[in-house]
Amino acid sequence: MKTMPQNTPKPLSEGASAAWPICIGYFPIGLALGVLAQKAGIPWWAVAMMSVLVFAGSAQFICVAMLAAGASLPAIIFTTFVVNLRHALMSSALAVHLAGVSRRFLAIFAYGITDESFAVNMTRFRSGTWSRWSALATNHLANAVWILATLTGALLGQFVPPGAFGIDYALTGMFICLLVFQLQGSIYILTGVLAASIAVGWYLLIPGDSYIVGASITAATLGYLVRHSRRKH
């Protein structure tokens, strides 16, 4: 395993350089979430608190949709918990590059892990030239933009007609882009196809929202076994 450098010049500027594409993507999606939350009757301060305390776009979109549908509080909590279980997988992968780091740093770092920051940081860590401080800067610069965007959307939502600008499709579009950027070989394409197929079958056969985590874990395991078998032969 490559050793992670402990001291890098200008970690904030390096983190900002890596974070700006995330921030550009976060702003319109955050605006969309804020607008949808405002349309659902959620006050601006609650939207801001949700972004500060949760900082998970998919979970926040789901929460807003369930609140608008009149779902119960236990159902919302359980659903968002299941959806965010994928963070355990992402954290486990990043932990390899954060060995020996204090728990205080890990707690602050873990708060900022999202699908996008995970993808960026994993790529940089694998290059062997990325520090934990640069990774932390990437996480929290993206976090700051997300909070600002959702708050702005909540404040401006009253001026936006319902369904305008394709706002309802914002989160779906973001995840499609993330998937496309990860398809860097046949094994990744196979894993993506498996995940989609298993998710659809799981959703149709098993009630609830466990299909997201179940399909992710199953497809990732099968992808690993296929790659291991190829290397072995």
Q: Give 128-155 pLDDT, tens digit per residue.
A: 788 889 889 999 999 999 999 999 999 9
Domain assignment present for residue 145? The answer is yes
Residue 129's pLDDT is 80
Residues 137 and 191 in one domain: no
**Domain membership flag for residue 2:** no
User: Do residues 84 and 48 share a domain?
Assistant: yes
- Cα 119 to Cα 42: distance, rounded to the nearest angstrom: 31
Residue 189 sits in the same domain as residue 145: no
Q: How far is 233 from 230, CA to CA, in rounded Å?
A: 5
The Cβ-side half-sphere exposure at 147, using a 13 Å CA radius, reads 17
Predicted local distance difference test score (pLDDT) of residue 177: 67
Q: Is residue 178 part of a domain?
A: no
Residue 150 and residue 116 share a domain: yes
Q: What pLDDT shows up at residue 123?
A: 84
pLDDT score, position 162: 65
Q: What is the DSSP letter of 66?
A: H
pLDDT in the model for residue 8: 46
- 23 and 84 assigned to the same domain: yes
- What type of residue is 163? G
Q: Is 4 domain-assigned?
A: no
198 in the same domain as 157: no
Q: Smallest Cα–Cα separation from 57: which of 32, 85, 78, 90?
A: 32
What pTM was estimated for this model as a whole?
0.68
Does residue 3 belong to any structural domain of this protein?
A: no
- 36 and 96, same domain (yes or no): yes
Q: Does residue 169 sit within a domain?
A: no
Contact 50/72 with Cβ under 8 angstroms?
no
**Same structural domain, 21 and 60:** yes
Of the residues 106, 130, 161, the one at which a domain ends: 161
Q: Are residues 43 and 102 in the same domain?
A: yes
Query: Domain limits at 207?
Result: 183-233
**Cβ-proximal residues to 174 (8 Å cutoff; 6+ apart), any chain:** 25, 29, 57
Residues of the chain short of pLDDT 70, as ranges, are 1-9, 162-175, 177-178, 181-182, 209, 233
Q: Are 32 and 167 in contact (CB under 8 A)?
A: yes
Asked if residue 171 is part of any domain, the answer here is: no
d(CA 118, CA 91): 8
Domain count, the chain: 2
137 in the same domain as 46: yes
pLDDT in tens, 80-105: 887 787 888 888 888 888 888 888 89
Q: 86 lies in a domain? A: yes
Task: Clarify whether residues 110 and 197 are in a common domain.
Answer: no
Residue 101 confidence (pLDDT): 86
Q: What is the chain's length?
A: 233
Q: Are residues 112 and 209 in the same domain?
A: no
